[in-house]
Amino acid sequence: MSTHALNVGIVQHSNSDDLAQNILITEQGIRDAAKQGAKLVILQELHRSLYFCQTENTDLFDLAETIPGPSTLYFGKLAQELNIVIVTSLFEKRATGLYHNTAVVIESDGSIAGKYRKMHIPDDPGFYEKFYFTPGDMGFTPIDTSVGKLGVLICWDQWFPEGARLMAMAGAELLIYPTAIGWDPRDDKDEQIRQRDAWIISQRAHAIANGIPVISVNRVGHEHDPSGQSDGITFWGNSFVAGPQGEMLLHASEDKEQVSVVKVDQAQSESVRRIWPYLRDRRIDHYQDLCKIYRD
């Protein structure tokens, strides 16, 4: 496990239907984070466009791109120029009729260090992702980079302890979640608070249970529902970085765009894991039923 401090940058912003403008906002955020000393910069889920999964529309497959492709080239040049590692989130076109929600890790020399295809795909009102994305087929494998082994997952994955555990078991030194999550504006304030707090608590628990930091980067702003069937989604921001005991190292705004950098002491994970040896005490001889859908 790495024993150095790492400056981690998060870029939280709103999106419009102007793809070129979105990219410029993202690039400026990356540059701002690098200027603040970030060596690893995390972007939010599907940062190129509006969150298009609010409705089912085959025309929106035009947003998908190949990997490698235009975005990996664009962010590769930026990573090389700034000498940083970037975690992007793209709508991957693997073949016509076959698409994934894919995170790509760009190394500081501009090359693709690796990618992760979202494994858990939601299908809920306003989040019709099963229409657009085939579930990932690459498993839970950390990506080796110059700043450490990154356990990259995506949004809905963050609610499942199994994914976090498998990444940690494979040597991940950080858990990273590009995210697009928000409220139905019709929910009352108490319900909104419960949802937001559950989201934060679940991910802080992954940090604690595995003894490694968690980085979660969400978008902000209201995006209307093109179908007109709902009041759209108000993305709740709250991007954060938690340490290996779940301690909050960085907590971003709920409703404002924000670029922030925080120092993550990776030696802390080494210390915490020695005191709290969860991996040592796992009873794998009695976990077989975890591979069942349900114990009837």
Helix (H, G, I), strand (E, B) or coil at 271: helix
Separation CA 104–CA 98 (nearest Å): 17
Torsion of CA 72, 76, 77, 83, to 10 degrees: 160
Specify whether 191 is catalytic: no
Catalytic-role residue among 39, 45, 129, 173: 45
Catalytic-role residue among 129, 155, 173, 223: 155
104, β-bridge pairs:
88, 115
Tokens of 139: 């498993």
Torsion of CA 195, 197, 198, 201, to 10 degrees: 160
Catalytic-role residue among 118, 129, 173, 223: 118
- 101 Ramachandran zone, left/alpha/beta (phi>0; psi -120 to 50): beta
235, β-bridge pairs:
182, 221
Specify whether 118 is catalytic: yes
How far the first Cα of the chain sits from its last, in Å, is 40
**Is residue 178 classed exposed, middle or buried when 0-12, 13-18 and 19+ CB atoms within 10 A define those classes?**
buried
Catalytic residues: 45, 118, 155
